[in-house]
Structure 1
Amino acid sequence: MKLRDSEPERYRDLEYRYAAVPISFYIKIRQLLPYNERSRKKSRSQKSLNTLKSFFPFTNWIGEYSKDKAIGDVTAGLTVALTVIPQSLAYANLAGLPVQYGLYASFVGCFIYCLMGTSKDITLGPTAIMSLIVGNYSYNIILLQFISGFIVLAMGIFKLGFLVNYVSHAVICGFTCAASIIIAFSQMKKLLGLKNIGRHFYEAIIDVPRNLKHTKWQDLVIGLVCMVVLKSLELIKRNYTSPIESDSKIKAALRKTLWFVCTARNAVIIGIALGIGAGVDPNVTHQPFTLTGELKPGLPKPMLPEFSGDYWVPEDVKIALETVPEAEIEGCVLMHVPASMMIGKLMSGIFIVAIMGYVESIAIAKAFARKNNYKIDPGQELYAIGVASVFASFFHSYPITGSFSRTAVNAASGVQTPAGGIVTGAIVLIATQYLTPIFKYVPSAALASVIMLSAISMFDTDGVKHAYHVNKMDLVPLFVTFLVCFYEIAIGIAAGLFVSIAIVLYPHARPKLEKDNVDGGKGCIIKLDRGFDFPGAEYLEDTLIAAATYGGYKWMVCDLSKISHLDLGAVDAIHTASQQCIRKNVCLRIVLPQEDLHKKLIAGGVKRETISLTLGSALVQVGKQTKGSPEQHKRAVTSLAPEIPTDFSTTDERELRPRKSLFVEGPILGEASV
């Protein structure tokens, strides 16, 4: 074989040493080595690129963005913006904050979620549920948003999203029903123009009837009119805006316009009410309407949340952070609240906000993903919500989450990608910068009407009916959550979680045991219908010891064939029970098919001869020890487990094999006692 002149000189001697192998083979191998290094580098860079794409999902759709998608996103973003602006004012009012804080909470989440979210439909911002939860923490609600955002982000980093699976549907249903009543009733004072009404539900339910004589009829009238118009527009949208194929172009355009007006009904009503409020002479001594009042104009200055601060607190207590006043009042002193105390007071709210915020968002995202036939990444949603919450806190936002009503509007408006959120956020930014001064003329009763109708629609009667028909036990955590939430939201959710988890864990603490008496009551077979671990270990131990002590049995078989693992508590329980049976002179056999678990029992002190692989072999060994008749053996085994052969080859107990004949007389049968 001849080498080309271009081939390196160092390979020429290979022609003679390895004549059977082409020299070009060695050259190609040598040439491939640098390529493999490049390939590994390329693989690492590709992996980094994939990680970046997974963390910023917008990179997956931005390359395919088109004019048609942009039109859909702009239309949807504009429609959602006209929905979120009046809602944000109302929800901030519900949280006990100046209404501009609702606007602060409505734009940052839109931009962040566009980059990091995996749902094209969902919109982040203030919601009625979240506003109700955070109402008791308004003294430092921005810090609450900051820390809860980090909690959600940490859940994403450490893959702890599964924890929200322990928040049962029953707890969510009970909380939602209670929240709808609490929210609606909390707006009665604004609908009626009342003052000096307690913030908590149990206070307001007493104070409102007591102060009905001070009702401002102007507030009541404008509030009721707003509610009637809002409900009418909702019904019109439901019944008269669906497209019809036989419609002409003019009719189709009119239906589309009517749909747009009905969808933006909150903005329409707030705009009209604002005009009425602005038309009142400001010099009048007695204003007919209770207005929102002066607002801080412009965008907030970005800054980190304050971990400590000075607050006016009652003199007779060391510290009492509630909805504290910003100015001196009688009986209060100005005190500095350190960061440790501040975070301690916020602690209950931090976890409730983090968990409920993620639960609400992921439920909405999954629902619309199924409806519109695409997939979301729950783990990435944790990152998106966490990062959005942290960044939003820099702009004085209070806790945000996914909004069902705005997500429905977004989907119905034809949104194509998460870029619709950029349009929504931009419009809210413009409104915050330039329109804040005019929002002071919005009547509080008009905002109350928006909140009350939204709250009434939240009452989940279908969820209660579904729980009743499917599993009545779910009604227990549902009603516990529902009732306790009227006292305190955080305590109600915690109580519901405790009850629902207790219901789930109860079968582990009290595993179902089936006990069958055989051989005229001389023996029994105890079967465990599921796996068990330390919560149910004591129950099994007590059952076996009680049967050995008071049952009058000569032998017992404990069938653990359905378990797949044993922990320390289970092994100790079996060992203790076997020792007690020995003291009571009762023969105990443990049925355990998994041979790898035998080592655990033996290591725990259980005697090797006590363990059997099958129920049949256990009965055979009992027969050896207690000297029974073959007929008793046949009757016992066929009545309790007819599928188990009663005749075995006994060369090795751990290799028990049935013979062809089901009942063949032999020495083993003659020794059986069952």
Structure 2
Amino acid sequence: MSGARVTAELGANDMDITNSSRHHSENLPYVHKVGVPPKQNLVKEFTTTLKETFFSDEPFKPFKDQTKSKKVVLALQALFPILNWGRDYNLSKFKGDLIAGLTIASLCIPQDIGYAKLANLDAQFGLYSSFVPPLIYAFMGSSRDIAIGPVAVVSLLLGTLLQDEIDPVHNKLEYQRLAFTATFFAGITQATLGVFRLGFLIDFLSHAAIVGFMAGAAITIALQQLKGLLGIRKFTKKTDIVSVMHSVFGSIHHGWNWQTIVIGVSFLVFLLLAKYIIRFLAFSFDLDLLLPPQGKRNKKYFWVPAIAPLISVIISTFFVYITHAERHNVQIVRKIQQGINPSSLDKIYFSGEYLAKGFRIGVVAGMIALTEAVAIGRTFAAMKDYQVDGNKEMVALGTMNVVGSMTSCYVATGSFSRSAVNFMAGCNTAVSNIVMSIVVLLTLLVITPLFKYTPNAILASIIISAVLGLIDIDAVILIWKIDKFDFIACMGAFFGVVFVSVEIGLLVAVSISFAKILLQVTRPRTAILGNIPRTTVYRNTLQYPEAMKVPGVLIVRVDSAIYFSNSNYIKERILRWLADEEELLKEHKEPQIQYLIVEMSPVTDIDTSGIHALEELYRSLQKRDIQLVLANPGQVVIDKLHASHFANLIGEDKIFLTVADAVLTCAPKVEQA
């Protein structure tokens, strides 16, 4: 585009920018100086930054100007939210919590037995973990909807990491001790993050990586259940898809049990029908529900998929009992230890070679459990329009796992499937967790002998139907549409879990998440700006093709803070923009660049390396007879530019409030030259 056309179209109200520039060059009524903030006290600046980083929610504000007794009450309410919302609790709310608690209990009992096997623990440990931890959380948690207990992903992760250290079959007691040790340190990790308000650390695992990791874990868990679904006795301990498929098809002639397959596949089909088809039928044929939204239509039938697992267990157990299918090599649960949680405090490794191993496994399992619980809590809180305190959640989750490790529980967290059922069942508060715990307690005291003849195939089918919900194809498609690098992170985590192992998939997810952060920090975006015709607005010329460049002036925007990690790149990128533009102008025989304007609105901060890079940029431009001009540096940036005397180096008359002001000053000088 020629310089004449640009000049003709620049400026407001179709006024020729040349005339406007001449007018403003004589007296510049619209060119304002950039304000220089007063020098801040170092201690005050540090404390302000510290407060914003760790105490942005102002947790101590309610304690201000309160009496000592009131402060004690507020402290107890902060530690135990039940003391706050419990004052307004009534019978109406209890009815909803009672129904929700009974419903999630019917779902959690068969799931807990299966998840315990995922962790290579006896079935009762899964039930233990749905008794004590939910009680602790009900008093300390801030979420009204989250349902606490063992979950598939953490159970698989824990089982995989633990069996790498101790054989769960030949060294059963030592394996259990290491599981309690890992649970203890998982709780310590979670509580520590909450106490020191370090919850932002879990945000380093991106949403895309979590989606891929969960999907990969779901596939891995489902493949692991082929052992129980097909009745295979000798099965690989590895979790990758190649090893599992080799183990499955390698035993096709001598390891599969057709009776087990019939039981497992039949009830798997029933569970899937209950989960998907019945909801569809409810949507299609219930004439009373044609007008409300789909979510409300399906909500009426929430109990169908919720109680389907328990119905499957009851029917299959009765069938095996009357037919004595165990005599035909149908594997059954056999004995589940009756009674409430025994103490396990003396079984935790506080010294010895397994202490470090338990700590390492606990930290990993605790972080994954925490990420899942916080994500679930925030999701349902957004649906009901209330706030979940992330730090209180961490303290609550950590406390319940520490206490759980001392009462024969393994790592518990928020379960998405149970929380969804809890939500749809109409829960009002965390009392639904208390109801669930009481039902599990009664199960441990009375009902556990009845599970003796429960076939393992049923547990496998329940787990498979549960984990399929972790595969979110819509989220993957959306990630692909929005951000291709996020999609790479998602797929990296997925394939890492499926083809190698759960821990490698987790490592890949974390590594790619960090790689994305480093890439964005070290290679920030920059853009060439042009003027939107008949306005004083300057925008990216790639985004707005109608935006026109100003003759003799190159306007570059830096879309990042300038730190040691990217300062050299930004300097070189600006010089490359300049070289490309000069070459283009030379080809079209247009005026060469005389002013380089750097739009600094997005530059939130700058360090000494960044200022040093600007100094080098200034000297490089001086050698080319090009003036460096800055537009709209923020408070922090302008303060540092003055403190380093860089403002004096380029001249305070080269720092403007807006790009338009800078152009109005520079364009007339270009024209005069």
How would you bin the TM-score normalised by the shorter chain?
Answer: 0.7 to 0.9
Q: Secondary structure at the match of 2:596?
A: strand
Which protein has the larger Cα radius of gyration, Structure 1 or Structure 2?
Answer: 1
Structure 2 partner of 1:147: 185
The Cα RMSD (Å) is 3.8
1:575 aligned to which of 611, 615, 633? 615
The residue that corresponds to 1:118 in the other structure is: 142
Residues 227 and 453 of structure 1 are in contact (CA less than 8 Å); yes or no, is this contact kept in structure 2? yes
Confirm or deny that 1:225 pairs with 2:266. Answer: yes
What is residue 373 of structure 2 aligned with on the other side? Answer: 361
Alpha-carbon deviations, 1:112-160, whole Å to 9, x = none?
Answer: 1211122222110011122122121343222111111111111111112
Aligned twin of 1:499: 512
Distance 1:366 1:297 in 2: 36
Q: Deviations 1:268-300 (Å, cap 9, x if unpaired)?
A: 111222223333559x8x543111233433223
Worse-superposed segment, 569-578 or 213-222 = 569-578
Give the partner amino acid of 1:276: F
SS in 2 for 1:402: strand
Does 1:234 find its partner at 2:275?
Answer: yes
CA separation of 1:642 and 1:109: change in aligned 2, threshold 3 A: closer
Unaligned runs of 5+ in 1: 1-38, 247-254, 310-337, 619-640, 649-661, 664-668
Whether the 8 Å contact between 2:130 and 2:149 is mirrored in structure 1 is yes
Instruction: Using the TM superposition, give the Cα deviation of residue 516 of structure 1 relative to its aligned residue in structure 2, in angstroms.
Output: 8.9
**1:380 match:** 392
Tell me the amino acid that sits aligned with residue 79 of structure 1: T
8 Å CA contact 2:642–2:648 kept in 1: the answer is yes
Q: For 2:507, give the aligned amino acid.
A: A
- Identity among equivalent positions (%) equals 26
Aligned counterparts, 1:143-542, within 5 A: 143-202=181-240, 203-214=243-254, 215-235=256-276, 237-239=278-280, 260=303, 263-279=306-322, 286-304=327-345, 306-308=347-349, 339=352, 341-346=353-358, 348-486=360-498, 487-514=500-527, 526-542=556-572
CA contact (8 A) 1:591 1:611 kept: no
Letter in 1 for 2:236: G
1:589 to 621, 628, 632: 628
Give, as a single letter, the amino acid of the residue that structure 1 aligns with 2:390. Answer: P
Per the alignment, do residues 492 and 281 of structure 1 end up closer, same or farther by CA in structure 2, a change over 3 Å counting? Answer: closer
- Which residue is 1:623 aligned to? none
CA distance in 2, matches of 1:100, 1:432: 8
Amino acid in the other structure paired with 2:189: I
Q: Distance in 1 between matches of 2:357 and 2:69?
A: 46
Indicate if the aligned counterparts of 2:144 and 2:428 stay in contact, CA closer than 8 A.
yes
Q: Tell me: higher relative CO, structure 1 or 2? Use CA pairs within 8 A at least 6 residues apart.
A: 2
Q: 1:612 to 1:112 in 2, by over 3 A?
A: same
Mapped contact 2:113–2:124 kept (Cα < 8 A): yes
SS in 2 for 1:361: helix
Aligned CA distance change for structure 1 residues 587 and 605 (closer, same or farther; 3 Å): farther
* Counterpart position of 1:251: none
1:370-422 CA distances to partner (integer Å, 9 max, x unpaired)?
A: 33344332232222211111111111111111112212222333323221222
SS, match of residue 566 in structure 2: helix
In structure 2, how many angstroms separate the alpha carbons of the residues matched to 1:366 and 1:289?
Answer: 43
Q: Deviations over 1:162-195 (max 9, x none)?
A: 2222222211111121112111111111111112
Name the aligned partner's letter for residue 217 of structure 2: A
Q: Contact between 2:209 and 2:509, CA under 8 Å: does it hold in 1?
A: yes
- Letter in structure 1 aligned against 2:249: P
1:292-325 CA-partner distances (Å, limit 9, x unpaired): 233433223223264549xxxxxxxxxxxxxxxx
Answer whether contact 1:590 1:612 (CA < 8 A) is retained. no
Distance in 2, Cα, partners of 1:394 & 1:540: 54
Q: Distance in 1 between matches of 2:549 and 2:159?
A: 68
Kindly indicate whether residue 154 of structure 2 is the aligned counterpart of residue 130 of structure 1. yes
For residue 601 of structure 1, report the CA deviation from its aligned partner. 4.2
Partners of 2:555 and 2:398 in 1: CA distance: 54
Q: Structure 1 pair 587/41, CA: closer, same or farther in 2 (3 Å)?
A: closer
Aligned-pair CA distance for 1:356: 2.2
Match of residue 46 from structure 1:
70
Q: How far did 1:258 drift?
A: 8.6
Letter in 2 for 1:476: I
**Pick from 58, 63, 71: which aligns with 2:87?**
63
CA 587–606 in structure 1, closer or farther in 2 if over 3 Å, else same = farther
Post-superposition offset of 1:89: 0.4
Relative to structure 1, is the Cα distance of residues 305 and 188 closer, same or farther in structure 2, using a 3 angstrom cutoff?
farther
Change in CA separation of 1:141 and 1:305 when aligned onto 2, cut-off 3 Å:
farther
Question: Partners in 1 of 2:110 and 2:332 — Cα distance?
Answer: 15
Q: Which amino acid is the alignment partner of residue 387 of structure 1?
A: T
Give yes or no for contact 1:592–1:612 (8 Å, CA) kept in 2.
Answer: no
Greater mean deviation of Cα atoms: 66-75 or 601-610: 601-610
Q: What TM-score, normalized by structure 1, do the two folds share?
A: 0.73
Paired residue secondary structure (1:290):
coil
Q: Which amino acid aligns with 2:251?
A: N
Letter in 2 for 1:204: V
Amino acid at match of 2:429: T
